[in-house]
Amino acid sequence: MGLPPSSRLPRVTRSLIAAILVLPVAFSGCFGIGETEGGPGDWGREFLSDSDYTRLIVEIDHEQGAAPADEALAGLRTNIESFLRKPGGVEIRTPTSEVPNKGQGAKWSFAQIRSAEDSIRDETKDGKTAVLYIMYVNGGSSEDSDSGRVLGAAYSGSSIVMFKDNIRSVQNQCFNLLPLGCPSPGTIEKAVLIHELGHILGLVNNGIPMVEPHEDPDHSHHSDNPDSVMYWKVDTGSVIDLIRGRGLPTEFDANDKADMRAAGGK
């Protein structure tokens, strides 16, 4: 989510405009607030290639009761190892329960998320080591609306937040609608986490260039392919439409992969 990189407006202004443009329909959960670390996609090349950073640490903090699903973490590792060129190794640290406890039903503003990150994030990029930071909270986003819940968001150049309540509610909705046809618990979370990873890596057309045009004209920085994990519905409550229809995408498509490879990834 966001306006084209060619825009000369400062990123915060662009993000606010983008949020205002998109919110009435559904919030895609993909804007940057951390000016000190840039916006989502600003470090895509650095994460993908080994020219500046040869090693990666993934630091994960969670609120009590909001630990990541094993399936989501496994999917994260597979995608990082498949597409990021890090010959020095990838270390996904065991998630630690350090996020201030607000409990289920809480609504987190991005200012609160940023503030929590500032107080508990241990690692930042250093030497040849890049760092991806992921925070899991129980509640939802203050940007949630009746028409759009945010399941996850990339909110700085190196930070992702995941909203467990909203992911759980989509899972419950799915089990009520399709008792036999739902993805397994953890699969929706995995799709959201990989989607946010894609935003951090600069997809789509938001930090790394497109090899072939595949940006959705109606949802900037998302894929026009509903079978790509970068389709806009994946990290919103609208993901239920995908699950009920053609199925939940959990992988990058050929165009996403081509963009990552051209930007120095594998």
Residues that bind Zn ion (CB under 5 A): 28, 30, 235
Minimum distance, C-beta of residue 88 to Zn ion, in the bound complex (Å)? 29
Minimum distance, C-beta of residue 176 to Zn ion, in the bound complex (Å)? 25
Nearer to Zn ion, 26 or 30 (CB): 30
What is the C-alpha separation between 188 and 92, in angstroms, rounded? 20
Minimum distance, C-beta of residue 232 to Zn ion, in the bound complex (Å)? 6
Burial label, 138 (beta-carbon count in 10 A; 0-12, 13-18, 19+): buried
Beta bridge partners of 89: 55
Nearer to Zn ion, 127 or 217 (CB): 217
Nearer to Zn ion, 28 or 49 (CB): 28
Asked if 229 and 151 count as a contact pair (C-beta separation under 8 A), the reply is no
Minimum distance, C-beta of residue 127 to Zn ion, in the bound complex (Å)? 31
Residue 31: which of 173, 196, 241 has the closest Cα? 196
Residue 239: which of 220, 226, 252, 221 has the closest Cα? 226
Nearer to Zn ion, 86 or 196 (CB): 196
